[in-house]
Chain A
Amino acid sequence: MDIVTIVQILDSTLRLATPLLFACLAGIISERAGIFDIGLEGKLLIAAFFSAAYAHYSGSAWIGLGAGVLASVVFSLFHGIASITFRGNQLISGVAINFLASGMTVVIAQSWFRQGGRTPSLTGDQRFPSLDLPGAEAVQGVPVIGQIYGEILTDHGILVYVGLLCVPLTWYVLYRTRFGLRLRAVGENPAAVDTAGVSVVRMRYAAIVIAGVLCGIGGAYLSTSLAAGFVREMSAGRGFIALAAMIFAKWRPWQGLGAVLLFGMLEAIANRFPNLDLGFITLPSQFMTALPYILTVIILAGFVGKAIPPRAGGEPYVKER
């Protein structure tokens, strides 16, 4: 594999990892607060649709982003009403949200655009512009740095950088702020938070709204930056890969970045080499596609570093003595 190929794959990795990153951080925030979120996929999808639709109507990717985030937050609130207010099963609610998104996007898209469940192609300002990092041009000749900074890191849609910035931000919020302390506590022992005079319900709603916003940005990136418009089922399981990445990272943001980069790279490799010839074995692209899931099962099985979820995760909080 020559250097150009590697650079290209890493370049592609960064793009493909970005929607995973947003969803993964969303999952981390939500699950750290004790709300299991298998509806990441649905939120990505609904956000992707509304972003593309409103970017098309308004001519501005930013307005599209707003619409996508709003849609994703609304879905988050459904999840909240079911699993926080009515103490329903968070997993079932998540499943329902995924189906709701899958059905709604096509039904609405068909009704609005009559193009078989897709939006018209987006052009110009309807999509996010690429951002050339300062000095990227200048360092292109320099070995290593030139390739990393001048070729891999630069010239991506602006949301790629937003995503990367969200990693330290999430870390800081979780571990260095009052909000983060309470959020983590609410996922470990909500009773402790409740008796400390902090509303568990409010904390959990705050967490899922943030998760909604992050998924919303991820979805907007999918349809208005990575692609140029919405097509049905365009999230294509990315929400679940993000879920896998979250488990892989054991619910920690920096490790989450690592996991999505790994999974993004697997996708990039599968795109580049439908049949990856390793000399002694040829791996079909299907294997690469399945690899994130296989790796996650191995992690879940606890053979390689046990993944312990937040202790109060999945359980509705019922006040008791």
Chain B
Amino acid sequence: MSSKRMPKWADVLLVPILSLIIAFALSALVILAIGEDPVRAMRLMITGALGSTYGWGYTLYFTTNFLLTGLGVSIAFQARLFNIGGEGQALIGGLGVALVCLFIPWPHWSLAIIAAIAASAIFGAVWAAIPAYLQAKRGSHIVITTIMFNFIAFSLMNYMLSHVLRPPTSMDPATARFDNVLRLPRLHDILAPMGIDFSRAGPANVMLFVALLACVLAYFLMWRTRLGFEIRAFGKSEPAAHYAGISGVKIIMVAMLISGALSGMMAVNSVMGGPQRLVMNAVEGAGFIGIAVALMGRSHPIGIIAPALLFGFLFQGGSELALETTIPREMIIIIQALVIMFTGALDNMVRTPLETLFALMRRRT
């Protein structure tokens, strides 16, 4: 019904932007309520996240995380699967990265990154495969199973880091640092030959381009290939997909494997690209932010780029906020929650009045 009542641009752009504005307005109220100045807060966030190449280095680093997890959630959403397990899949993906980087003596980072991407994707996909299988074959609700798998992943990583992968001399539940050969080229290294002076500190690295490439590839997958056609058809109507000879089991499995693999790949950035070792909670909630990103981007592989950047900005800006004001970093979790609420659950609240508005305008013309 919706598409009939509103032009497509309104559906794709206006609704999420309005939702975002409401979410931001409410966040501003929260900031006011705790006695801070929202305008100053916004200015601080902008300077902190976008005002320097140092800030950009972190903003784009977080953006890379959210691109991959947002893409993961999107692909599953397209098949009408709510993969809430991106967090767990990314955690386990990190295990894959760590194993590849710790135990194989790579001669060069370029080989290692390929292996790390493969390993993280496989690990993430495997972690998504069990809930996917249970949904496809046993009808277990994928939302509940992926939640459970997040906690199981957390416990497993907790065990691995404190008992198995921790170097004997270290007290820190983290792996040893990877060999320096494996250090991924950062924007500083990439842009320097072009004569651009980019901060050395920001951890944004080649994975940014991998993530963007993944978005483009996912776009082609969803809109130019038969598999994408089938995933979208299954997501729109399960009985119709069955009628068309599209196997539900196959689509659920494939969509979840891709979703898990993408979320898992995020770990290459946050483990190999960032601290160059696997630490506890290396995902930092990016799996969940992926949900907000996918919802805002209407689960479109290209559509999620802007929201991923937005959340990258919020994440980096938010940590600056904590430094300069009494607004804690958790403020961005509130914004994240409101974005999820308004673009996801309260979609109709924004949409219905808009549809009425468009109907009125149409009647007049």
Contact = CB atoms under 8 A, between A and B. Distances in A.
Direct contact of A and B (CB under 8 A): yes
Q: Is the interface of A mostly helix, strand, loop or mixed?
A: helix
A89 B155 CA distance: 29
Contacts of B145: 297, 300
B356 interface: no
Nearest to A284: B159
Contact of A289 (B155, B162, B341, B344): B155
Interface residues of A, number: 47
B330 A243 contact: no
Contact of B341 (A93, A104, A297, A302): A93
A95 B141 CA distance: 15
A91 interface: yes
Interface stretch (A108-116, A129-137, A144-152, A173-181): A108-116
A78 interface: yes
Contacts of A88: 344-349
Contact of B151 (A104, A237, A300): A237
Contacts of A244: 148
Interface string A299-314: 0111000000100000
A86 B337 contact: no
Given A92-B345, A240-B147, A107 B330 contact: yes
A161 B189 CA distance: 64
A89 B337 contact: no
Interface string B332-343: 111111101100
B149 A104 contact: no
A38 B139 contact: no
Contacts of B147: 38, 240, 243
Interface string B226-267: 000000000000000000000000000000000000000000
Interface centre among B34, B155, B288, B332 (most CB of A within 10 A): B155
Q: Is the interface of B mostly helix, strand, loop or mixed?
A: helix
Interface of A: 38, 78, 81-83, 86-93, 95-100, 102-104, 106-108, 110-111, 114, 117, 237, 240, 243-244, 247, 284, 286-287, 289-290, 293-294, 296-297, 300-302, 309
Interface residues of B, number: 49
A99 B35 contact: no
Given A86-B349, A92-B295, A108-B34, A100 B155 contact: no
Contacts of B158: 286, 289
A102 B333 contact: yes
B236 to A, nearest CB: 16
B66 to A, nearest CB: 15
A243 B151 CA distance: 13
B51 interface: no
Interface in B111-159: 130, 134, 138-141, 143-145, 147-149, 151-152, 155-156, 158-159
Interface of B: 30, 33-35, 82, 84, 130, 134, 138-141, 143-145, 147-149, 151-152, 155-156, 158-159, 162-163, 288, 291, 295, 326-328, 330-338, 340-341, 344-349
A22 B33 CA distance: 31
B151 A99 contact: no
A99 B145 CA distance: 19
A90 B138 CA distance: 22
A97 B30 CA distance: 16
Contacts of B138: 300-302
Nearest to A290: B155
Given A95-B84, A96-B344, A293-B152, A284 B163 contact: yes
B140 A99 contact: no
Contacts of B340: 92, 95-96, 99
Contacts of A237: 151
Contact of B139 (A78, A289, A293, A302): A302
